[in-house]
Amino acid sequence: MGRTMTKQTKFVLDEEHIPRSWYNIAADLPQAPPPVLHPGTGQPIGPGDLAPLFPMELIKQVVSTEREIEIPEPVRDAYRLYRPSPLFRAHRLEQALDTPAHIYYKYEGGSPSGSHKPNTAIPQAFYNKQEGVTRLATETGAGQWGSALAFAGAAFGLEIKVYMVRSSYDQKPYRRVLMETYGAEVVPSPSVDTQYGRSVLADTPAHTGSLGIAISEAIEDTVTHPGTKYSLGSVFDFVLLHQTVIGQESIEQMEMAGEEPDVIIGCAGGGSNFAGLTFPWLGRTFRGGRAYRVIAAEPEAAPSLTRGVYAYDFGDTAKMTPLVKMYTLGSGFIPEPIHAGGLRYHGMSPLVSLLKDIGAIEAQSVHQRACFEAGVQFARTEGILPAPEPTHALKVAVDEALEARESGEERVILFNLCGHGHFDLSAYERHLSGQLEDYEYPAERVEAALAALPRV
Ligand SMILES: *Cc1c(COP(=O)(O)O)cnc(C)c1O
């Protein structure tokens, strides 16, 4: 500390700069995405197949190839609570790393629920309300998505039911309390509220749950309750679309800073914050602009992009969802409870998976202890305590900056700090007291998952 700050640190846009449209990468993709298949027939699904789950406006967005999809005014109004989000230059972190690299981060932790998730929770609640839906069912892992949807439900007057993965429900009681404060009903998953949950509990009464199981429960809830639709916080194309406000703002803010990134990094669980930051930049490349190195950072404990296979798989454990082609560890994936870093989904968004398959993006996996170390260093230099998930992006950014030091290169690095860690202090406590262990996903389990994939 004690350093005088002569250079600009924070790049702020005013409200008129909240984007007026979302950026739809489908307009610019070099290759069309593989079709989504019906789980029963194996044939490509149509919009009608999704109608029981989602409102029509969201289904239209999934099939649209328009480059720009207008953001409704009530959604922009709600975005005004916390958007545009700030972009920071991490001068103090750069100094601590003694690197010639310039490190920038887009900070999404200033939203009401503390992450990027309200960027899609708000429009999902809005469109459902507009089409007469009264109740939404959803799943949540670490609790960030549940909190975001609970907030959006309160804002638009919708009832929210959240199936929360049991291990998180037990480890993160304050996330549950936040959801309940917003008015949502929260149950641990597997729960006794669905037939599927009861069947899992009958086999394994102490089951710690998984996102795949919680998704199955939320979908069963949706199709068995009239007036209810399903909502999800990652993976699906329209979720990624809504997150592109992040990248669009970052393009303007990097212009304010007078720089262009060489490397752009996001952590990837289902792929939405990663896509939100990087797709608008990738779109410029696909339309003939310069290429950037774009890196998805994921945990060694759930390494779908780096160790999974690119194949058709189910999005949930009960095999109720359509089949999508994606990088997957198999829909039976159960994360190790020792893993504290989030990003535990078995698959990856089909769009992000396609980009990895065609070589437009890279992926790296990182161990959780190194991530938490980077998180602590970031808190001590930049002041913001990152959520465990974005410490994966941070760790990769730090490695890039250290490499630039070795080679004496002036590298410009941009990463997404997609949430704060104020609800993750027990994970930080375990890290600080030396209780966290690294966990590498075993090769045998990757092979077993591959063998169990559905045949299409
Ligand atoms: C939900 C969440 C993630 C993982 O989801 P993505 O769709 O991959 O972005 C990552 N970071 C934070 C802070 C989250 O809330």
pLDDT in tens, 126-155: 999 999 999 999 999 989 999 999 999 999
Is 387 a pocket residue for ligand 1 (Cβ < 6 Å)? yes
Is 209 a pocket residue for ligand 1 (Cβ < 6 Å)? no
Which numbered atom of ligand 1 lies nearest the CA of 268? 8
State the pairing for strand pair 135-140/68-70: unpaired
Pocket test for ligand 1, best of 85, 107, 116 (most atoms within 8 A of CB): 116
Is 375 a pocket residue for ligand 1 (Cβ < 6 Å)? no
At 6 the pLDDT is 56
Is 145 a pocket residue for ligand 1 (Cβ < 6 Å)? yes
Is 272 a pocket residue for ligand 1 (Cβ < 6 Å)? yes
Question: How long is the chain?
Answer: 456
Nearest CA to ligand 1 atom 7: 272
Is 124 a pocket residue for ligand 1 (Cβ < 6 Å)? no
Is 139 a pocket residue for ligand 1 (Cβ < 6 Å)? no
Measured CA to CA, the distance from residue 85 to residue 248 in angstroms comes to: 11
Is 390 a pocket residue for ligand 1 (Cβ < 6 Å)? yes
Pocket test for ligand 1, best of 85, 106, 144, 243 (most atoms within 8 A of CB): 144
**Residue 202 CA to ligand 1 centre (angstroms):** 31
At 2 the pLDDT is 42
Is 168 a pocket residue for ligand 1 (Cβ < 6 Å)? no
At 450 the pLDDT is 79
Measured CA to CA, the distance from residue 414 to residue 309 in angstroms comes to: 28
**Residue 156 CA to ligand 1 centre (angstroms):** 23
Pocket test for ligand 1, best of 234, 235, 366, 415 (most atoms within 8 A of CB): 234
Q: Which residues contact 92 (CB under 8 A, 6 or more apart)?
A: 1, 3, 381, 382
The list of the chain residues with pLDDT below 70 reads: 1-6, 338
- Listing DSSP states for 329-369 in one string gives S-TT----TT--S----SB--HHHHHHHHTTSSEEEEE-HH
Pocket test for ligand 1, best of 111, 418, 423 (most atoms within 8 A of CB): 418
pTM of this prediction exceeds 0.95: yes
Measured CA to CA, the distance from residue 5 to residue 321 in angstroms comes to: 52
Residue in this structure with the two tokens 């559905």, named with its chain if needed: 454
What are the φ/ψ torsions at residue 412 (nearest 5 degrees)? -105, 120
Looking at this protein, which amino acid is placed at residue 365?
S
Structure tokens given for 230:
């399903």
Q: Distances from the Cα of 191 to the Cαs of 37, 202, 210, in angstroms?
A: 29, 11, 12
Count H helices and E strands in the chain, helices first: 19, 15
Is 117 a pocket residue for ligand 1 (Cβ < 6 Å)? yes
Nearest CA to ligand 1 atom 5: 269
Is 234 a pocket residue for ligand 1 (Cβ < 6 Å)? yes
Measured CA to CA, the distance from residue 168 to residue 166 in angstroms comes to: 5
Pocket test for ligand 1, best of 107, 108, 111, 115 (most atoms within 8 A of CB): 115
Pocket test for ligand 1, best of 385, 389, 416, 423 (most atoms within 8 A of CB): 389
**Residue 147 CA to ligand 1 centre (angstroms):** 12
Is 278 a pocket residue for ligand 1 (Cβ < 6 Å)? no
At 399 the pLDDT is 98
Measured CA to CA, the distance from residue 334 to residue 292 in angstroms comes to: 34
**Residue 273 CA to ligand 1 centre (angstroms):** 6
**Residue 12 CA to ligand 1 centre (angstroms):** 23
Structure tokens given for 332:
């039976």
- Listing DSSP states for 37-66 in one string gives B-TTT-SBP-HHHHTTTS-HHHHHHHH---
How many Cα atoms are found within 13 Å in the side-chain-facing hemisphere of 16? 0
At 163 the pLDDT is 98
